[in-house]
Amino acid sequence: MTTAAIIVAAGRGMRAGGGTPKQWQPLAGRRVADWTIDAFRMLPGVARIVLVLSPEDRAAWEEFADGDLILAEGGATRDQSVRNGLEAIDNMGIIRVLIHDVARPLVDAATIHRVLEALETHPGAAPALAVTDALWTGAGGLVTGTRDRTGLYAAQTPQGFRYDAILAAHRAHKGGAADDVEVARAAGLDVAIVEGHPDNIKITLPGDFARAGRILRGKMDIRLGNGYDVHRFGPGDHVTLCGVKLPFDRGLDGHSDADVGMHAVTDAIYGALAQGDIGRHFPPSDPQWKGAASEIFLRHAVELAASMGYRIANADCTLVCEFPKIGPHAAAMQAEMARIMGIEPSRVSVKATTSEQLGFTGRGEGIAALATAALVAE
């Protein structure tokens, strides 16, 4: 069946603080809305995603105008915003629809699938958690009574429905509903309760950002890559290693500037991204890269990582050679590599070792380099 998701992002959410609607505030390196949107983008079977935006959020309208989202204008109330989102996909052949609050960026795929499975046998379904804490009433800072928690649930989203039924329910509703389950029940639709998830919190108050950040960091996507390169000695009066020119009685042969250390780090980043190696992106058969500065390659790898949603956590490079001596220049190499990658020098390691006069490096025929890079999803 054809499924759509409606993400309601038109609210102002100022109780969360920060002076900006909470959906546009940063959370673990991205905006709240970015986490929420991607949760549905990554779900196979969700054919359409509607983002309901406030007319005041002009920057968001411009940002998402040419993307893969359908944009709808929010109303004065949540239920009006949802109806506008539903109307935006009318006559598109949608069978099921998931309606989700943008302020729930931690929704997991398993919860969404439980909602969809329940829609096979019910016109509506929604995730919830059974209330397990004692319930009080209070006034003036004092407890005034208790309430029975039997049969009580804390509602979550996404709330799922058969599209035609929930559209008709919203068109008939007088307005002012707390959520879409209330709208559905007012129209006589049965709504199944499915198991929610404790992490599927709604960001409402300033402290919720810290809690959501801790949860996201616990689920952090970390990638590792390794790189290896080698270049033989040839004519010249210097070698370039990790961006630093070292006077020497020979140079290194290569299509580019033969910076073996920078090449190894670059390939480590490409490897972590599963994007091949330098040769894939800068073919040695292309004459424009003859003698090119390896900084071009490294910058490209870092920019590619950023475009895929990753930042460089750290990089470690080991140069293998008998000479020239690396130790006196290691700090400068560290600083230059950090500058190119846009990270702190403390996140870059450059060190050297010999091969105990064994192999081609031991015979002084060239220099090898090994590197590891760690990438973290933003």
What pLDDT does residue 14 have? 72
What pLDDT does residue 368 have? 97
Q: How far apart are CA 261 and CA 359, in angstroms?
A: 19
Per-residue pLDDT of the chain in tens (378 residues, 90 and over written 9): 599 999 999 998 677 777 789 999 999 888 999 999 999 988 888 999 999 999 999 999 999 998 899 999 999 999 999 999 999 999 999 999 999 999 999 999 999 999 999 999 999 999 999 999 999 999 999 999 999 999 999 999 999 999 999 999 999 999 999 999 999 999 999 999 999 999 999 999 999 999 998 888 776 688 999 999 999 999 999 999 999 999 999 999 988 899 999 999 999 999 999 999 999 999 988 889 988 999 999 999 999 999 888 889 999 999 999 999 999 999 999 999 999 999 999 999 999 999 999 999 999 999 999 999 999 876
pTM of whole model > 0.85? no
Instruction: Retrieve residue 326's tokens.
Output: 């690396």
Q: Closest by alpha carbon to 370, among 321, 301, 298?
A: 321
HEC sequence for 254-309: CCCCCCHHHHHHHHHHHHHCCCCCHHHHCCCCCHHHCCCCCHHHHHHHHHHHHHCC
CB 223 within 8 A of CB 243: no
Q: How far apart are CA 351 and CA 315, in angstroms?
A: 11
CB 46 within 8 A of CB 4: yes
User: Between vectors from CA 328 to CA 351 and to CA 317, what angle results, nearest 5°?
Assistant: 15
Domains and CATH numbers, the chain: 3-218 (3.90.550.10), 222-377 (3.30.1330.50)
What pLDDT does residue 378 have? 64
β-bridge mates for residue 226, sequence order:
372
